[in-house]
Structures are given as structure tokens and as C-alpha cells.
């Protein structure tokens, strides 16, 4: 019914528009919120944005009209808000301007625009959005199988394995079976009349799977997203209209532990619990006669143990198909043997709609190579290291088991998997029910792996019912946040293309509820990766929904004294040195400005200015005359010692440099929000830090910072705090520091970005090219030559540790903003205006690059064609670009929307 109304409405709009428009503009993608296509949006945060397509070059929007309705059939009018014709070229973050929207309601909106000739476009098809419930409107109860006291779970959430007392370890050993088992919960109800609309809001902690009348509601996984559960708890909303019917209906929920309840049993990085698995659910039904009914989670529900006999976010999952109860999620199922649920203590955090993209199976990899390594022993190479879990298709007898052990590395004999550097033991185990072909996918655990090892099985063997089960098919499900891809880079250098590939795969592998350091051993949100790799991440993926979630994690984890810990959420408090490092905590001040630069949205700056201010004050309190002398420094830089704490660069350089960044970001934030006193105070702080940096860490006689390492000179160059009269000399010293290493780098996790960008900004892109166009150590090329399929934790993967880290991936930023030349303009954020200034370096013959901005597709594609340099630039509607050609072409070109092509002669000494 609803779909028919929507289709009819779209047809009416299209017909009316066809009569009235003739515009050169066409409405593309619609977004009812800044954070993306969220299912539910807090009513006060509703705003509208759209992309435009143009049939004529140079076209721009001059006006818009928005209509909002509480009815999908708004045709020619609006019953909630009509903006009228607004003379404006704005096409993003247009605020709702009508009467206050009601909480927990569904609305539809549509927009049209006028072009420069004052011709209206067609109306867009109506787009739906829903407003979130106010926390006070939740009537549902938190329910489950046991209360915290019955589960004997320790209070608090600081239970890591380092230095655990025997008493505490013994306490964990007493944890009830239910703390590791998964449970199923169900409830039946009758829909008294035909259903017009049904919306469910649900939070199942740690994770849940919701089923209605025997059907899976949603295919995403690991719902809801992890959070600092003492501050924030996310819920999801789903439209169940098409799943419910008049008469009997059944709701079924399976609960798993997730990060909410890490109780161990196999490998764990730490032990942590906010309570036993728990459910809170509210189903609002509107009938066709206008009456309403609300179905809640309460003590009328029943539960039973599920076939998931073990689940741990770190250690894996076991499933016994013999324990399945067919029809448990259908009406009429006999649940007399099930148990009554108990009402549980709710988590302390506020129920909040999840606006960040869900975690989903985004790709699937089959077996690329199979080896039989012994009697009934098999090793499967899935061809790609990834974060995820296997999907198994098997045949055998009831009670037979298939255990799959995942790993990203092999042992020295290449016959068995090796988990020593990724967390051991972890496995996925399936017990067969024994009827025909069986298929299984884990629900509540994932791991980082390329290889799967199975013992006690056969593979693709004819027949069935033998002594061992037979694996008929095996797939690896690549699981990560479903943020849309926005960037593409390719060039004539095959090595660079492969570097981009392995970094991108590592980015995806670690883009989950948090940006994890690795998808196996830790799964923690180490914060330095978010800002040091921020530009590369922002070019590659739409993070409008992701970064606000990261900032909320940071704010929720900030301590009363202002400290932003190195990880957020701070599920575990590590030993000294891994808690308070300015290069990590500074993400809380830097990320809101990156978000603003990429999306033109200052909401994170405004919301989290108090977080910046408290952190800047905290660092000021720890400084000695504006110098910070603690932290991890340039983590995992390359040198003679094992990777870890900085060995090439004084920690004062990196710590104080980031102190300056925090102060500068805070000063600018204060000015933006109108805090004049704060703007002056933090600007003075930033100037004093810069002055102390130059007084205590700079030697004018040699024009060297620190000990003259690459990182030492790159950071002040990048920050712009080198005195003008010394800038050229310091840049020369940086170049010599690279040359003295044979053209290779000596930086690590912290210094990479500053090294690459300082060289590029000082006109030394040729050096950056040579630094990466080789197959030796240190460098990305060595990893490519070693055959890894994701970026590794160390420059030399042979030295161990994780083979799926994106922390060293800062070169992606250089691919986009130097080789392709696409750079945002800080003065016109959101790519409303941007620069295209490609660097033609080394033996590159061509580059093809694109970025889908909030206004539309940007392209920079160039090639050397004999004695000519040719470039094609695409500029979206409502934006402009400044093109700076290479080879000293003196005239920057201001480009309006459309596709533009230019060429200039290539000097003889630069021709291929």
C-alpha cells in the first residue's frame, strides 16, 4: 500500500515537473541529515542536502524550494512545512524551518531548484526520514536471562589481563555459563487490524539479531555499534510494516556478548563487562483506522539457550545445530519449556539513535588455493587478508564438528596457520545436525585473517555420511562499516596502484564501530590513526556518519581532568605510556576541523569545543614552560631497534607539536563559536608553544630542530612555525636527512604524514616519489613484494606483529593531493571551492583520480602525450576550482561546473 502511494506520488511529481521545468539542473542524491541517510534523526538535527546533475556546463543553482509532509502523498502542497522559493545557491545543510517536528514520527520531503536562467527543475522523488524518540519516551524494559549478581560479573569495566590478581582471575573463572552462551528471546502478539505502519526501535547488548515471523529483519551485523556504554547506548530502528500481518505475529531476538561483555574462555585482549546480554525493544504499530499499539520488551517475554554455545568478540564462536528449535520465531510455537525473562538493571548510558553506518558483509571471497596438509587436514588460502568470518557449507552426520582456525600468517612449514601475532586461540566451530547440506555463518565474532585451517574433515569429496564431515563450499565474508566509497586512484605506476590497494583493504578491515588498530589482536580505537590518516580516509570513504560517532566516543571517554585517553572507548586502561600520549589525544581537537574542511559542517566544532578546551587546559597543566616531554613519540619509526617507542626523534618534538595543534584548533574553535575571550586565550597559548618550540628545540646555527631527524624537521615545517628566515634552510636539512638515508624514510606512525606533506609543500614531490618507488625496507614496496594483501604494522612484515594495520597508510593523502592534485580549500570548506594542482614526477605517464564530494564528482585525470601534458578536470555543480598547471604555466584557471580539458607543452628535459 505504502509503496504504491509513493510510486504514484513520484509519477505525479514527474508529470507536473515535465510541464513546468526545462531546467538544466536535475536533483540527484538526497540526504535529510548531515551524518548521511540515518534511519532516525534527532528532531532538532534535521536538515536537508542534495546533489545536482547538470546538462549544461557552468550551470549553478540560484534558488530552492523544500516541502515536508507527514503523508507520503503530498502532491502540490505540504502539510508540515513549505520553505517557499528561497533565493540561495546552498544545497547542503539547509535547516528545517517549520513548526517543531514530533519525536518518533515519519516524514517525507522533496525539493526542487532553479538554475541561472530561473528555470525550475523537476521535483525530486519523495525521501523518507524519521525523527528519534526522546529518551524519556522509552517505555520498554531491559530484559534477559540473568541479573548481574546472578552472573557473578565484577562491577566496572577495567578488567584487562595484565597484572590480574589470582583472586580476580578466580572470580572470572566462576562466571556463569550464560555469560558465554547466547540466548533467544521471543514474544507473540496479535495485530487486531490491518497494519498501516510499524516501526521497531531495538537495542540488544552486546549484539543482536532480530527476526519477525520467521524472517530476518536486517542483514547487517554486530548491531548496535560499540560505545562507551556508561555514557551512550545506541539503538536501531527498522520499518516492519511489510513483515507484520493482521492476526498472530511473533518477535524473536538472539543476543550475543560483543564488546559489552568480554568474559573470555579463549583468547581475549582484556576482560570487561558492563553486564550480561540484555534487550530493550519498542514496537509502535499504526493501524489503517488510525489507532495505535505499542509492543514492549517486558517480563512477558520468554527465553531459551540458543544454538550459539560460545561467543566472544575476540575468541570466536561455536554453534551446535542439534540445538536448533525450528519455528521458534514463528507464531504458534510451543515455548512451554522456555524460561521467563527477568528485568535487568539498564546500562547507564543514554539510549541514542545510531546514525553511523551499520557493519555489514560488504564483500565475499572464495577459496583461492587449497592444500591437503595431512590426513583429513586442509589449509585454505582465501586470497585476501580481511576482517570477517567464514560462511561454511557442509555435509555429514549429526554431532560431527567442523572447526575453522583463522589466521593471517602461516607457520614456517607453510602447512599450518599461525596466530602468535594476532591473538590465540581463536576458532569458529560448527556441530552438524546431520540432514542434507548445512550452511552456517557466525553471528557474534570476527577476526582478521587470510587463511583457514580445518582438521578432521574432507573437502569436496563425493558422497556423504562418512566418518568425517565434508566441506562443500567455503567463503570469507569481508565485514566492515558500510560507509560508501567516494575515492578512486590509479596511475601508470603499478607499484603505487598496489600500495593504494593494500592500504585501502586495511582501511576497510579496520573501519568498524571504531577505527580499530587491527581486526584481531586488539580491536581497539587507537585515536592517532583517525587524524594522521584522516585525509586519506576522507578521500576514500564518506565519513559523514562515522566521524561524529568517533567524536562522541572521545567525549564520552574524556576524563574529568580533561585527559583524552589514547583509545576511545576506553574499554581497558593500559600500563603507563599507553594512556596519555598527546599525539593520540589530539584527535579530539583535530578531527572536527578535518570534518569541517571536507564537509563544510561546523557542527562537530560547535558541539565538541568544550572537549577541545578541557584537553588544551590539561596539556597546558602538564607542560614545562610550554614543552611536553612525555608520550609514545614517533611510534614504530624505522631504525636499528625493534619497532615501538620512538628511537629517531625526541619525544618533545612530537608531543609539543601536537600540543601546538590542539591549542591552535581550540583557538579557532573559540572564534567560530563566538567565545572571544577563549579565542584570545588559546591563540596566546599557541603562540607561546610555538615560541618555546623554537627557543628550546631549534638550533639556529645549524637550522636543525631536535636531533635533525626527518620527523624533527618535518613537523615544524608542516605546522608553519619555522621562522621565515630559516624556512628554506630547514627544508634543505629535511631533504638532506632523506638523502642520507638513501632516499628512504626513517619515520613511523606519527612522523609519516608530516614528512610526506612537508616535502610536498616545500616543492619536493620528486623526493616523495623516489622515497616510495622501490621495493626495499623501509617502504610500502617491500610489503607488496612480500605478497601481503593489507598494510602491515611494521615496515618490515617479517619482524612479526599484525599484518592488517592501516596506521602507516598516510601516503594515500599524497596520492590524491599531489599526484592528482586535488586539495580542499580551507577558506571554502566542503569543496565548495577546491584546487587541482597535479605534480608530474618521476616516470609517471598518467594519473586517473576521482573524489565524490558532497556536491558531486570531482575528477583529475592527466597524461603525458608526447610533448604535451593533457588534463581533464570535472567540477560539480555549485562549486568552483582553481587549476594550476605544471611546468611553470603562469596562469591559474578558475573553473566552474562541468568537464574541462587543457594542455600545455612539456619541457624537453621532462619528456618521457
pLDDT digits (tens, 9 = 90+) for 365-424: 999 999 999 999 999 999 999 999 999 999 999 999 999 999 999 999 999 999 999 999
- Kindly report the number of other CB atoms within 10 A of residue 219's CB atom: 8
State pLDDT tens for residues 515-547: 999 999 999 999 999 999 999 999 999 999 999
State pLDDT tens for residues 78-103: 889 999 999 999 998 899 999 999 99
The answer, yes or no, to whether residue 164 has pLDDT greater than 60, is: no
Alpha-carbon distance values, 894 to 839, 848, 885 (Å) = 18, 21, 12
The answer, yes or no, to whether residue 195 has pLDDT greater than 90, is: yes
Cβ density class 858-889: b for 16+ within 10 Å, e for less: bbbbbbbeeeebbbebbbbbbbbbebebbeee
Rounded to the nearest 5°, which phi and psi values hold at 801?
65, -170
Q: Which of 159-173, 421-435, 714-728 has the least mean pLDDT?
A: 159-173
d(CA 571, CA 156): 10
Share of the chain above pLDDT 70, in %: 92
Cα pseudo-dihedral 72, 77, 79, 81, rounded to 10: 110
Work out the average pLDDT over 863-869: 95
The answer, yes or no, to whether residue 792 has pLDDT greater than 70, is: yes
Helix axes 710-719, 751-761, angle to 10 degrees: 60
Work out the average pLDDT over 470-479: 98
State pLDDT tens for residues 148-158: 655 544 444 44
pLDDT at 75: 52
Alpha-carbon distance values, 616 to 300, 512, 547, 567, 583 (Å) = 51, 28, 21, 18, 13
Helix (H, G, I), strand (E, B) or coil at 776: coil
What mean pLDDT value characterizes the chain?
92
Of 284, 285, 262, give the one whose Cα is nearest residue 273. Answer: 262
pLDDT at 363: 97
8 A C-beta contact, residue 527 and residue 568: yes
pTM for the full predicted model: 0.94
pLDDT at 663: 98
Alpha-carbon distance values, 558 to 6, 354, 612, 629 (Å) = 45, 21, 10, 21
Q: Which residues pair with 541 in a beta bridge?
A: 485
Work out the average pLDDT over 723-742: 98
State pLDDT tens for residues 800-822: 789 999 999 999 999 999 999 99
Q: Which of 9-18, 147-156, 653-662 has the least mean pLDDT?
A: 9-18
How confident is residue 740, by pLDDT bands cut at 50, 70 and 90? very high
Work out the average pLDDT over 3-8: 38
d(CA 539, CA 849): 10
pLDDT at 166: 58
d(CA 61, CA 120): 10
Q: How many helices (H) and strands (E) does the chain have?
A: 18, 49
Indicate the pairing of strand 316-320 with strand 427-431.
parallel
Given CA atoms 511, 517, 518, 524 in this order, what sign does their dihedral have?
Answer: negative
pLDDT at 342: 95
d(CA 780, CA 498): 9
The answer, yes or no, to whether residue 6 has pLDDT greater than 90, is: no
pLDDT at 23: 86
State pLDDT tens for residues 423-452: 999 999 999 999 899 999 999 999 999 999
Q: Which of 58-62, 572-576, 874-878 has the highest mean pLDDT?
A: 874-878
Give one DSSP letter per residue of 820-886, joined into a string: S-EEE-TTSTTTTEEEE-----TT--EEEEEEEETTEEEEEEEEEETTEEEEEEEE-TT-EEEE--S
The answer, yes or no, to whether residue 465 has pLDDT greater than 70, is: no
Amino acid at each position: 500500500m505504502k509503496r504504491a502511494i509513493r510510486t504514484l506520488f513520484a509519477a505525479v511529481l514527474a508529470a507536473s515537473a515535465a510541464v513546468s521545468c526545462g531546467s538544466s539542473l536535475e536533483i540527484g542524491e538526497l540526504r535529510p541529515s548531515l551524518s548521511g541517510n540515518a534511519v532516525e534523526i534527532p528532531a532538532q538535527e534535521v536538515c536537508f542536502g542534495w546533489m545536482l546533475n547538470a546538462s549544461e556546463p557552468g550551470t549553478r543553482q540560484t534558488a530552492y524550494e523544500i516541502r515536508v509532509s507527514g503523508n507520503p502523498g503530498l502532491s502540490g502542497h505540504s502539510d508540515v512545512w513549505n520553505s517557499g522559493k528561497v533565493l540561495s545557491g546552498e544545497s547542503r545543510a539547509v535547516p528545517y524551518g517549520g513548526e517543531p517536528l514530533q519525536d518518533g514520527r515519519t516524514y517525507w520531503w522533496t525539493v526542487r531548484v532553479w538554475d541561472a536562467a530561473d528555470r525550475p527543475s523537476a521535483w525530486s522523488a519523495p525521501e523518507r526520514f524519521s525523527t528519534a524518540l526522546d529518551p524519556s519516551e522509552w517505555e520498554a524494559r531491559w530484559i534477559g536471562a540473568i541479573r548481574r549478581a546472578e552472573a557473578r560479573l565484577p562491577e566496572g569495566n577495567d578488567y584487562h589481563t595484565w597484572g590480574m590478581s589470582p583472586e580476580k582471575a578466580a572470580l572470572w573463572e566462576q562466571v556463569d555459563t550464560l555469560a558465554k552462551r547466547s540466548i533467544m528471546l521471543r514474544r507473540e502478539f496479535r495485530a487486531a487490524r490491518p497494519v498501516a505502519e510499524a516501526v521497531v526501535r531495538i537495542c540488544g547488548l552486546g549484539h543482536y539479531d532480530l527476526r519477525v515471523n520467521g524472517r530476518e529483519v536486517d542483514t547487517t551485523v554486530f548491531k548496535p555499534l560499540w560505545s562507551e556504554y556508561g555514557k551512550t547506548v545506541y539503538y536501531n530502528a527498522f520499518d516492519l510494516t511489510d513483515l507484520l500481518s493482521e492476526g498472530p505475529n511473533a518477535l524473536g531476538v538472539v543476543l550475543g556478548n560483543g564488546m559489552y561483555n568480554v568474559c573470555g574462555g579463549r583468547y581475549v585482549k582484556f576482560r570487561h563487562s558492563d553486564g550480561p546480554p540484555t534487550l530493550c525493544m519498542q514496537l509502535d504499530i499504526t493501524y489503517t483506522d488510525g489507532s495505535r499499539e505499542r509492543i514492549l520488551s517486558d517480563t512477558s517475554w520468554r527465553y531459551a539457550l540458543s544454538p550459539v554455545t560460545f561467543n566472544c568478540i575476540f575468541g570466536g564462536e561455536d554453534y551446535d545445530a542439534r540445538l536448533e528449535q525450528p519455528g521458534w520465531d514463528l507464531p504458534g510455537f510451543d515455548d512451554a519449556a522456555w524460561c521467563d525473562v527477568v528485568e535487568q538493571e539498564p546500562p547507564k548510558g543514554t539510549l541514542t539513535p545510531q546514525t553511523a553506518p551499520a557493519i555489514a558483509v560488504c564483500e565475499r571471497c572464495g577459496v583461492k588455493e587449497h592444500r591437503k596438509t595431512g590426513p583429513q587436514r586442509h589449509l585454505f588460502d582465501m586470497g585476501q587478508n580481511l576482517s570477517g568470518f567464514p560462511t561454511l557449507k557442509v555435509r555429514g552426520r549429526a554431532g560431527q564438528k567442523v572447526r575453522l582456525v583463522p589466521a593471517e600468517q602461516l607457520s614456517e612449514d607453510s602447512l599450518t596457520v599461525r596466530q602468535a601475532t594476532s591473538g590465540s586461540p581463536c576458532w569458529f566451530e560448527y556441530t552438524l545436525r546431520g540432514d542434507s547440506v548445512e550452511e552456517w555463518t557466525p553471528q557474534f565474532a570476527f577476526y582478521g585473517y587470510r587463511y583457514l585451517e580445518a582438521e578432521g574433515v574432507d573437502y569436496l569429496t563425493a558422497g556423504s555420511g562418512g566418518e568425517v564431515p565434508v566441506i562443500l563450499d567455503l567463503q570469507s565474508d569481508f565485514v566492515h562499516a558500510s560507509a560508501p566509497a567516494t575515492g578512486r586512484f590509479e596511475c601508470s605506476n603499478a607499484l603505487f596502484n598496489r600500495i593504494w590497494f593494500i592500504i585501502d583493504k586495511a582501511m576497510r578491515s579496520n573501519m568498524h564501530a571504531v577505527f580499530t588498530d587491527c581486526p584481531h589482536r586488539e580491536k581497539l580505537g587507537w585515536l592517532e590513526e583517525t587524524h594522521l590518516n584522516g585525509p586519506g580516509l576522507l578521500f576514500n570513504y564518506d565519513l559523514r556518519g562515522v566521524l561524529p560517532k568517533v567524536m562522541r566516543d572521545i567525549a564520552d571517554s574524556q576524563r574529568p581532568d580533561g585527559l583524552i585517553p589514547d583509545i576511545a572507548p576506553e574499554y581497558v586502561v593500559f600500563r603507563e605510556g599507553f594512556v596519555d600520549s598527546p599525539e593520540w589525544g589530539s584527535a579530539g581537537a583535530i578531527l572536527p576541523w578535518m570534518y569541517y574542511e571536507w564537509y563544510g559542517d561546523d557542527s562537530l566544532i560547535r558541539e565538541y569545543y568544550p572537549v577541545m578546551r578541557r584537553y588544551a587546559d590539561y596539556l597546558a597543566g602538564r607542560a614545562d614552560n610550554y614543552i611536553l616531554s612525555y608520550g609514545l613519540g614517533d611510534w614504530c619509526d624505522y631504525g636499528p631497534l625493534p619497532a615501538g617507542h620512538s628511537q629517531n626523534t625526541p619525544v618533545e618534538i612530537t608531543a609539543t607539536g601536537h600540543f601546538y595543534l590542539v591549542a591552535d584548533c581550540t583557538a579557532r574553535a573559540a572564534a567560530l563559536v563566538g567565545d572571544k575571550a577563549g579565542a584570545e586565550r588559546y591563540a596566546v597559548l599557541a603562540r607561546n608553544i610555538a615560541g618555546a618550540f623554537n627557543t628550546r628545540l631549534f638550533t639556529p646555527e645549524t637550522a636543525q630542530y631536535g636531533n635533525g631527524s626527518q620527523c624533527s624537521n618535518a613537523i615544524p615545517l608542516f605546522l608553519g612555525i619555522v621562522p621565515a628566515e630559516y624556512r628554506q634552510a630547514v627544508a634543505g636539512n629535511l631533504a638532506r636527512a632523506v638523502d642520507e638515508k638513501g632516499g628512504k624514510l626513517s619515520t613511523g606512525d606519527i612522523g609519516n604524514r608530516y614528512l610526506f606533506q612537508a616535502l610536498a609543500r616545500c616543492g619536493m614531490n620528486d623526493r616523495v616519489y623516489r622515497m616510495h618507488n622501490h621495493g626495499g625496507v623501509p617502504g610500502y614496496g617491500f610489503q607488496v613484494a612480500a605478497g601481503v594483501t593489507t598494510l602491515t604494522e611494521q615496515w618490515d612484515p617479517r619482524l612479526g606483529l599484525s599484518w592488517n594495520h592501516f596506521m602507516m597508510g598516510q601516503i594515500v593523502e599524497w596520492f590524491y593531493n599531489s599526484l592528482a592534485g586535488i586539495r580542499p580549500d580551507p577558506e571554502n570548506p566542503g569543496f565548495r571551492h577546491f584546487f587541482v594542482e597535479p605534480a608530474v614526477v618521476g616516470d609517471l605517464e598518467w594519473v586517473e583520480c576521482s573524489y565524490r564530494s558532497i556536491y558531486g564528482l570531482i575528477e583529475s585525470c592527466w597524461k603525458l602525450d608526447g610533448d604535451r601534458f593533457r588534463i581533464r578536470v570535472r567540477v560539480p555543480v555549485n562549486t568552483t576550482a582553481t587549476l594550476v598547471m605544471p611546468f611553470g604555466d603562469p596562469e591559474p584557471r578558475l573553473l566552474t561546473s562541468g568537464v574541462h580539458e587543457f594542455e600545455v607543452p612539456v619541457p624537453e628535459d621532462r619528456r618521457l
